[in-house]
Structure 1
Amino acid sequence: MMMQLEQSRDGRWSVQLGFCEVYFGRKNDAETYMNKLRERVEAPHALPAFVTLLPKR
């Protein structure tokens, strides 16, 4: 998933992930958020193992 850090015309910084955009007043805050978000997105995820037994016909 593509993640971007950009500065807006009004000087704020934004972190964009897909259609979601989060604004920050300082570049350092935006970079910290983006790094943590990237860690969470790239972390291994175990899918839930649901087993559904269907009645025999």
Structure 2
Amino acid sequence: MKSISFRCGAVTVVPYIGPRSTGQVCQICDRMLRYINQETKYKCECSQGCN
């Protein structure tokens, strides 16, 4: 999985690495760095800042 940089406010699909959703592909949906899995609709919190 390639490392994809994302920007705040943009709708970008990025690989999420975290304690709850390791390896899941989530979509950034707002500037609060909250991610949601399109398949499971599971919200993930991002541990990274805006790049």
Normalised by the length of structure 2, the TM-score is 0.32
* Larger relative contact order (CA 8 Å, sep ≥ 6): 2
Normalised by the length of structure 1, the TM-score is 0.30
